Amino acid sequence: MTKDLTVGSPMGLILNFGLPTLLGMLFQQFYNLMDTMIVGKLLGAQALAAVGSTSSINFFVIGFCMGVCSGFAIPVAQRMGAGDYARMRRHVANAAYLSILFATVLTVATGLLCRTILTVMNTPGDIFADAERYIFIIFMGIPTTFLYNLLAGILRSLGDSRTPVYFLALSSVLNIALDFAFILWFDAGVAGAAIATVVSQGISGAACLVFMAKKYPVLRMSREERRLNWSSCRTLCIIGVPMGMQYSITAIGSIVLQSAVNGLGSTYVAVAATSKLFQLLGCPFDAMGATMATYCGQNVGALKLGRLGQGIRSCTLLGVICSGAILLSMVLFSGQCAMLFLDPKEPQLELLRSLTSQYILINSAFCIPLSLVNIVRFSIQGMGYSVFAILAGVLEMAARVGVAYFLVPPLGYAAACFASPAAWISADAFLIPACMLCIARLRRRYPAEDGTPQQVSAPARQSCGERPAPM
């Protein structure tokens, strides 16, 4: 069930690998979106605002978890491309140990600091209690986030982008059912939506684990391969931690921006909750990024460097096509999309609908820069140049902070709608030339593109000034 991405047409491979990945991400975003929709419809604008007010801190913490897991999967993909299965299994085992450590530390830390974080973020008093209940439960579910995302990342590294989809589909259906059960039957409010998300993700992760144990002989480890290996941990952390930090650094800008929006009042916070809709619309670009991380990782491992540029160009073309389709659909249906989150009986219905449509349309107009952020950044990470991801994240953070401090106070919500486009454009200005530099350095380091795969150790890290580590 593994798939080799080092042979065949890059466009065909990207489509074949990326479509199941996209479907999985759509399911994942769908059940997150369902939380927001059900909360807005059943509990009203105040509860919707409570969920929306936590979106940036949610991204800060959960994004770090997902980034770390994605980073851990890259050395696995590189060893897969090189045909070095013993080291690949060692990486898998040590990625599990590191995930347990990270999950434990983050769960304890966020649980203790939850109230303080919401206070610092200027969360409105009328929604504070619900916001705290919601995000605290999400934080307590961090281990389930690590479980699913690590296993899904490993499966994708092996070339299997389909299996995670099946379990996410099951999880999505279960999440919707639990949303209604906890909110309507048990009267759990916003806490019920959070519990449904955590439980459903835990089930999908557990299902992945059982499946991998039974169906993937290549992952069956010897006692030696299961041992804690500091060299492997170092390699995993060199790539995984910067990827997690990149997400979190980006999220810092979102947190500052969210604090500024919170100051506008709960009506605007409720509108901001619809950012989850755009997360759904952005799934094609997330799938392209995940695909390119695996594609570039395997091809670097196999020393087929000529295929890197081919793959990036092919994926960029797909990104442009998807961007045009999203913009056209939102021009036609943004008003209808806005109503997904709103109760027709809301007293401020027309204002909320107008502001929601405004957010959706502005962000949809900048999908091409968003697509490039994902394609290029994850390609660079798949090559092993994780430091560049952090630098791009810093630029995104700076753009969002700039909008929050200098534009939101005088211009209000309209300025906040342009924060993400500004961040994407800033990151692209750095990432595109950085990607060209990375490929050039790899070519200089390995002038014979089809060398022996086992020769690859840490190509990009060394050339980028990072300490080399055996893979």
Of the two residues 242 and 348, the one the predictor is more confident about is 242
As given in the structure block, the two tokens for residue 399 are 């753009």
How many Cα atoms within 13 Å fall on the side-chain side of residue 11? 6
Name 131's Cβ contacts closer than 8 Å, sequence gap at least 6. Answer: 50, 51, 53, 54, 118, 123, 190
> Looking at this protein, which amino acid is placed at residue 72?
F
Weakest mean pLDDT among 7-21, 48-62, 365-379, 428-442: 48-62
Is the pLDDT at 450 greater than 70? The verdict is no
- pLDDT of 465 reads 35
- For 338-365, the pLDDT digits (tens) are 676 666 666 667 777 777 788 888 889 9
Cβ neighbours around 47 below 10 Å, total: 25
Q: What is the mean pLDDT of the chain?
A: 82
Q: Residue range 25-45: average pLDDT?
A: 72
- pLDDT of 340 reads 67
Is the pLDDT at 463 greater than 50? The verdict is no
Alpha-carbon distance of 290 to 287, in angstroms, equals: 5
> DSSP string spanning 330-348?
HHHHHHHHHTTS--TT-TT
Q: Residue range 385-407: average pLDDT?
A: 85
Of the two residues 247 and 134, the one the predictor is more confident about is 134
Q: Residue range 297-306: average pLDDT?
A: 87
Weakest mean pLDDT among 39-43, 47-51, 171-175, 257-261: 257-261
Of the two residues 34 and 50, the one the predictor is more confident about is 50
Is the pLDDT at 451 greater than 50? The verdict is no
Q: Residue range 424-429: average pLDDT?
A: 94
Name 433's Cβ contacts closer than 8 Å, sequence gap at least 6. Answer: none
User: Tokens 């797909």 sit at which residue?
Assistant: 318
Is the pLDDT at 112 greater than 70? The verdict is yes
Highest mean pLDDT among 119-133, 140-154, 293-307, 411-425: 140-154
> For the chain, give me the number of helices (H) and strands (E)?
21, 0
Query: Per residue in 296-331, is it b (16+ CB within 10 Å) or e — as a string?
Result: bbbbbbbbbbebbebbbebbbebbeebbeebbeebe
Weakest mean pLDDT among 180-189, 201-210, 258-267, 436-445: 258-267
Q: Residue range 299-319: average pLDDT?
A: 91
- pLDDT of 412 reads 78
Name 214's Cβ contacts closer than 8 Å, sequence gap at least 6. Answer: none
- pLDDT range class, residue 310, cuts 50, 70, 90: very high
Is the pLDDT at 28 greater than 80? The verdict is no
- pLDDT of 163 reads 83
